[in-house]
Amino acid sequence: MGADVRMTMEALEPLDLRRSKSVGEIVEGLSHCSFGARMLGEVAATLTEWVKETPRPILVYDGADLATGLGWLLRKMKDRGWFSRLEEPASYAQRGVGDRAVIVGRFSERSEKKLFSLPDRAIFINTEGLARPCQVRDGYYPDVVFSDPRLIMPILFATLEERIEGRAWAVARLIDEFRWYGGVASEVAHGAETVRAMVEDPECTVFLTISGAMTIAKMGLTICDAIDEEMVQYLACTGALMAHGLVESIGLKHYKYHPDHGDALLAEQKINRITDTLEPEENFDHVEEIVDAALDGIDGLEPMSPMSFHRLVGQYLAEHYPDERGILKSAYLKRVPVSTPAFVDSEIGNDVYIHNLKRRQRGRPPLLMDLERDSRVLIEMATKGKRLGILSIGGGVPRNNVQNVAPLIEIINTRLGMHLPESQFSYGCRICPDPMFHGHLSGCTYSEGMSWRKMSVTGRFSEIHADATLVWPFLLKYVMERRARKLAPDR
């Protein structure tokens, strides 16, 4: 038996946009989250320390692009005195002096060896996963942000200006700045306007689809915000997202992983790892208790569906956890249906299966899931909506299930001679790093969806190729700020 991992675990905290008033405050919150969010938050904290000390760190960037928006920004950061020099990778590699460096973007293999060995400590910001050998390990990402520097460096600039010079940035200002940088930054600016257009369109029904570990990433409260602010009217997600979200909804914690504790030791102590985050098995034991309690009063004589199951759990949370925020609680209070098309593929699916075994042992009829009930709700909402919008984080079954409603309605009419109103999406914004040439659903474009008659050829669509934990909080806060400004009384 190794060391007791639970004695050293560091708790993570959900990002709360209601309490985050500026870019710098959001970035601080990201440092207590997971995945790309924590990469950015921790790099921002390290960089803040570096620029307050002497000697200042060095910026390393391919000078061939200094005429771009990113090059202009890096020169500005150097001119502010935050960095001692701005050098090209080749010239930096020739100096042979150890120091601290921020290495932005790609660099040639000719410079690679020196860039990895020369700095006393280096931060790497790039999309290619470039870092020192063994710097990055499975679930451990110190001093790196693996994303487009054109997205990350403006966020770091705004954060440093707030922390060093006391000038806070509103998120709306950051989104406006993104337009000048190209790449993912420009995609975010375009996506922000698309999202704002769909949620502010009074005749648009907005479908939010989520795959990936957004709740384990501590983005659960941001999903609550989207529901509470009535930005979305339908949620489709994975069962895993709901399971981890339920943990958060009843006040339990997720924890930061460190590779000092190997996976064999974690398995021995029943601590489950999700990339860079830990989920103690006892969390799921508590979730099962919630599921049992919520389902106990159901007689089992009528089939139910994932939507009705989620509504029951949301009601239970509202009644028994009035001081906690949670996705299912918000969805219940706002009457937003929550669908998990692959319901059995999750811890919650496991819990319902165990619940049915218990019912059989007690001589009670098991609960039967009728997924067509949820399909009927989806069709009803799609056919009643004058315009439809889809906001997708990741791809997978949730995205496909919702987008599939258009061809489903088409073939119902064609094959059965019915006359349901045809429905296509007029708005869409997808946040997912996957490129189209990998050939899977997460990377397929809205243009491809047009060929299936899912997307209107006259619609407005945005594709953001980035880790959603780096983009979604700023996108959502942007819409929240703009709506608050619109609703504010004139002075």
Measured CA to CA in angstroms, residue 371 lies from 332, 340, 376 at distances of 19, 9, 9
At which of 100, 135, 169 does a domain end?
A: 169
Band of residue 490 on the pLDDT scale cut at 50, 70, 90 = very low
Measured CA to CA in angstroms, residue 233 lies from 59, 337, 381, 425 at distances of 45, 7, 9, 14
- The H-or-E segment that residue 196 falls in is helix 183-200
Rounded to whole angstroms, the Cα distance separating 180 from 78 reads 19
**What is the percent of the chain where pLDDT is above 90?**
80
Is position 288 within any domain?
no
Same domain, 194 and 163: no
Residue 351 CB neighbours (<10 A): 22
Band of residue 396 on the pLDDT scale cut at 50, 70, 90 = confident
Handedness of CA 267, 268, 270, 273 (dihedral sign): negative
Is position 292 within any domain?
no
Same domain, 323 and 262: yes
Count of structural domains, the chain = 2
How large is the average pLDDT for residues 29-44? 97
Q: Which two tokens stand for residue 248?
A: 């958060």
Same domain, 124 and 252: no
Range in 111-115, 196-200, 401-405 with the lowest mean pLDDT = 111-115
Of residues 228, 241, 238, 252, the one with CA closest to residue 397: 238
Same domain, 28 and 144: yes
Band of residue 203 on the pLDDT scale cut at 50, 70, 90 = very high
Q: What is the CATH number of the domain that holds 151?
A: 3.40.910.10
User: What pLDDT, on a 0 to 100 scale, did the predictor assign at position 311?
Assistant: 96
Average pLDDT over the chain, rounded to an integer: 93
pTM: 0.94
User: What pLDDT, on a 0 to 100 scale, did the predictor assign at position 229?
Assistant: 95
User: What pLDDT, on a 0 to 100 scale, did the predictor assign at position 348?
Assistant: 87
Q: Is the pLDDT of residue 491 over 70?
A: no
Rounded to whole angstroms, the Cα distance separating 27 from 163 reads 11
At which of 118, 142, 169 does a domain end?
A: 169
At which of 169, 199, 216 does a domain end?
A: 169
How large is the average pLDDT for residues 403-419? 95
Q: Which two tokens stand for residue 82?
A: 């935050």
Same domain, 247 and 118: no
User: What pLDDT, on a 0 to 100 scale, did the predictor assign at position 1?
Assistant: 54
pLDDT tens, residue by residue, 331-371: 999 999 999 998 888 888 899 999 999 999 999 999 999 99
Identify the domain containing residue 218 by its residue range: 184-283+319-343+373-487
Task: Tell me how many degrees the CA angle 219-103-55 measures, rounded to the nearest 5.
Answer: 105
pLDDT tens, residue by residue, 137-170: 999 999 999 999 999 999 999 999 999 999 999 9
User: What pLDDT, on a 0 to 100 scale, did the predictor assign at position 472?
Assistant: 97
Same domain, 62 and 211: no
Rounded to whole angstroms, the Cα distance separating 234 from 331 reads 9
Beta strands 58-61 and 100-104, pairing class: parallel
CA 192 to chain centre: 15
Band of residue 485 on the pLDDT scale cut at 50, 70, 90 = confident
pLDDT tens, residue by residue, 286-310: 999 999 999 998 998 899 999 999 9
Same domain, 111 and 87: yes
User: What pLDDT, on a 0 to 100 scale, did the predictor assign at position 425?
Assistant: 96
